[in-house]
Amino acid sequence: MDHVRLGIIVSEFNKEITFVMLDNAKKQAEKMEALISHICYVPGSFDMPLILKELLRKEDVDAVVTLGTVIKGETKHDEIVAENAARLIADLSVEHGKPVALGITGPGITFEQAMNRAEIVPVRAVVSAVEMTDRLRKMKENKSAGEQK
């Protein structure tokens, strides 16, 4: 099977966390022999859908991993940002028929909680993107998505 070609979108907001997430995503991609064809930086998680749409149009992108963290503040702004970003990300995945892994922590998360998840969340996101790409490829070959394991 061909290597999965990943695009990665990274939020620069809370970069103390998100850049650690990016390093861990790169390591996991290498372990899974996935190729990273694009890394795109955006100001914040809310800004991801526009860049995501462009990445999903590219022929050298099989799946995209989104990396960000939306930390709880004094208002419910974190909920608005995280929920809207997640909804648009899911919609774009379906619209373009390519997997998009949600590697965004929050809402309602503290800085410390986000830092504690900076290793596992991007690993899970890369695994999801690669596995979903493989399953979609198999389905297109007229095999059932459930026959993978």
- Rounded Cα distance, 96 and 118, in Å: 28
- 3, 38, 77, 96: the active-site residue: 77
Catalytic site includes residue 77: yes
Query: Is residue 135 exposed (0-12), middle (13-18) or buried (19+ Cβ within 10 Å)?
Result: middle
Which has the closest alpha carbon to 127: 94, 101, 97, 149?
A: 101
Alpha carbons 46 and 83: distance in angstroms, whole number = 9
Q: What is the spatial distance between Cα 91 and Cα 100, in angstroms, rounded to a whole number?
A: 10
User: How far apart are alpha carbons 84 and 53 in whole angstroms?
Assistant: 15
Active site residues: 77
